Every structure is written in structure tokens, then in C-alpha cells.
Amino acid sequence: MTLRHFLRDDDLSPAEQLEILELADDFKNGRGSSTPLAGPKSVAVIFEKTSTRTRLSFETGIAQLGGHPVVVDARTMQLGREETIEDTARVLARYVDAVVWRTFAQARIDAMSSASDVPVVNALTNEFHPCQVLADLQTVRERHGPLPGLTLTYLGDGANNMAHSLLVGGATAGMNVRAAAPHGFAPEQWVLDAARKRAAETGGSVEVFDSPTGAVSGADVVATDSWTSMGQENDGKDRVGPFRPFQLNAELLAATGKEETSVLHCLPAHRGWEITDEVLDGPSSAVFDEAENRMHAQKALLTWLVQRR
């Protein structure tokens, strides 16, 4: 078996992604009662940014797998002083069986994985949030059935971690993924290239829009996220004015032209900004199922990664 990491959505092949989504359903439905972390095996869960869902879902999920979660605020580690990421990785692998890390630049988690003898999992970077998108895909499958051919439209900051992960993860699942973003906030070209490469394999598609109405037309799923991600609070950009037309509200939801559209938001939501109360609390909203599914999807992912070592 070879050591595998999950740093971005296309670290899983389409078949591997589906295998993990099916295992996630098994965990949710009580069929996946195995305890692959019994012993217990330990998993370090390290945060350089704040978190509610990721922390709680990993900590409880690892315990349910029979493992021991070691949750650490990175500000209390030597990592924040002069110890290198690579030396930290070498040390962690002497204690734990997997490392889950929420950090800033993707290059940091790439460095961690390059020196790690145990699986490394991206719990959010500036560029990707792949664990969230596993949960999102589980949620969409529950509501709409098989993913290939479904249309998902993301509205908002097209260059943030959620937009990028939905593009790459959705294309991996064979979905038609659209991103609608204001001028200057389009997805990064290298991410679009990666998503289109996957779409060419799976029969999915990837499109970018600069206005929201056409982008949501015919969408089975509409997703949005914060206009200001963690770490962007003082980046000097106007993160309100250009985004207002992209607010996920009842009018835009109706523009899908579909009755059964599902609404996704990874949370935390900024009610009244990127999404209205009416939509977030309305019948199309799947956001709290999404939050729950973080735990099931991550249990499946950790099981899969640890069994591959």
C-alpha cells in the first residue's frame, strides 16, 4: 500500500471519490460501524485559523472510529516560532497515524505532506477546502441521486477555497460546475485548468460567468460562501459592493427555474450579505445536512487513508 494524502480535491480519482462517498453514506446509515482507528491510533488535528465545524466533526468522528484525536491550536506549537514545517511533520509522524491541518497557503500543507510518513489531510487552506466538498457531494447525492450530469452553480468569490474545491471536486464527480463571480474575483486559471482536466475525464463541464442570473438558470444546486474569507479581512479589496448582485436570495433562487434546487453554504454564513435568512432557513436549504455530513465524510476519508498505509 502507498501513503496517500488529501490536499486538494483531485488527489482522489473519480472512482476513489465515489468509493469514499459510498462509505460516508454507510457511516451515516449505521452500516459503517468499523473502528479502523481502534488501538487507539492517534490523529493530530491542528488549526492555524478558527473553526467550529471542522474541529468538532473531526474530533467526534475520530473518537467514533475508535481513535484518539489530538486537537491543537497551532499558536501554542513551535511551528509558529522557528521550527520548520518539514521538521514538524517528521516529529508528528513519530506520534500519530494521520495529520489534519487548517492553514494558510497551500504551499504550507504541500511542505507538510512532502516530509510526512503519515497521511496529511487539508482541513482548509487559502486555495482549497476539499473535506467540505466531500460533505457537500454527499449532501447533493442524498437529495438528487447520482452526481454525474447534475448542475451546480457557485456564486460569490470565485477565487476562494470553496469555489476552487467545488470546481475541482464537482468536475471529479462528473458534474457541470459553474462559478459566477464579480470582475476581479474569478477562479484562478490553474484551478480552472485542473477542473477542466477532470471534467474531460468524467463528462462534466466547467464554466465561468460574470453575472449571476444566467449562471443559476437550470441549476440543481446553488452554493455560496463568505465574501471575505479568513485572512482576507485587510486585503484592501472592496468585498461588498461588487458582490451585492451575487447575493443568494429568493429572486436568484427562483431564476434557476427549478422547484427542487438545493442550496449549499459551508457555514459560517453572514446572514443578509451573501445569503438571505429566507433562503438559508427555507425549504431548499441543505446547509445543516452539509454540516452534519462533514463528520460522516471525514470518517470515511480517514478510514480510507489509514487503511492504505
CA dihedral 290, 148, 163, 220 (to 10 degrees): -70
* From 266, 289, 296, 298, the catalytic residue: 266
| Of 249, 217, 211, 210, residue with least CA distance to 151 | 217
Contact between residue 305 and residue 6 where contact means Cβ atoms under 8 Å apart? yes
Q: Is 162 in the site for ligand NVA (CB under 6 A)?
A: yes
129 is in an annotated binding site: yes
Report the partner that residue 74 touches, choosing among ligand CP, ligand NVA, none (CB closer than 5 to 8 A by kind).
none
Cα–Cα dist 219/257, whole Å: 8
Q: Which three cell numbers stand for residue 110?
A: 504541500
Instruction: Tell me whether residue 271 is one of the annotated catalytic residues.
Output: no
Considering only 108, 149, 230, 249, the residue that binds ligand NVA (CB under 6 A) is 230
Contact between residue 165 and residue 125 where contact means Cβ atoms under 8 Å apart? no
Q: Is 266 in the site for ligand CP (CB under 6 A)?
A: yes
Instruction: Tell me whether residue 238 is one of the annotated catalytic residues.
Output: no
Q: Is 72 in the site for ligand CP (CB under 6 A)?
A: no
| Of 203, 210, 225, residue with least CA distance to 179 | 210
Instruction: Tell me whether residue 144 is one of the annotated catalytic residues.
Output: no
Q: Which three cell numbers stand for residue 289?
A: 445536512
42-47: strand order across its sheet: 68-73, 42-47, 98-102, 120-122
Span 111-140, contacts to ligand CP by CB under 6 A: 124, 132
Question: Helices marked H in 30-103 — which ranges?
Answer: 53-64, 85-92
Span 261-290, contacts to ligand NVA by CB under 6 A: 266
Report the partner that residue 84 touches, choosing among ligand CP, ligand NVA, none (CB closer than 5 to 8 A by kind).
none
Instruction: Tell me whether residue 129 is one of the annotated catalytic residues.
Output: yes
Report the partner that residue 162 touches, choosing among ligand CP, ligand NVA, none (CB closer than 5 to 8 A by kind).
ligand NVA
* From 102, 144, 198, 265, the catalytic residue: 102
Q: Is 52 in the site for ligand CP (CB under 6 A)?
A: yes
Q: Is 298 in the site for ligand NVA (CB under 6 A)?
A: no
130 is in an annotated binding site: yes
Instruction: Tell me whether residue 307 is one of the annotated catalytic residues.
Output: no
Q: How far is the CB of 163 from ligand CP (least distance, A)?
A: 14
Cα–Cα dist 101/279, whole Å: 32
* DSSP state letters, 212-269: HHHHHTT-SEEEE--SS-TT-TTSS---SGGGGGG-B-HHHHHTT--SS-EEEE-S--
Residue set of the binding site = 51-54, 78, 102, 129-132, 161, 225, 229-230, 266-267, 294
The catalytic residues are 102, 129, 132, 225, 266, 294
Binding site for ligand CP (CB under 6 A): 51-54, 124, 132, 266-268
Residue set of the binding site for L-ornithine = 161, 225, 229-230
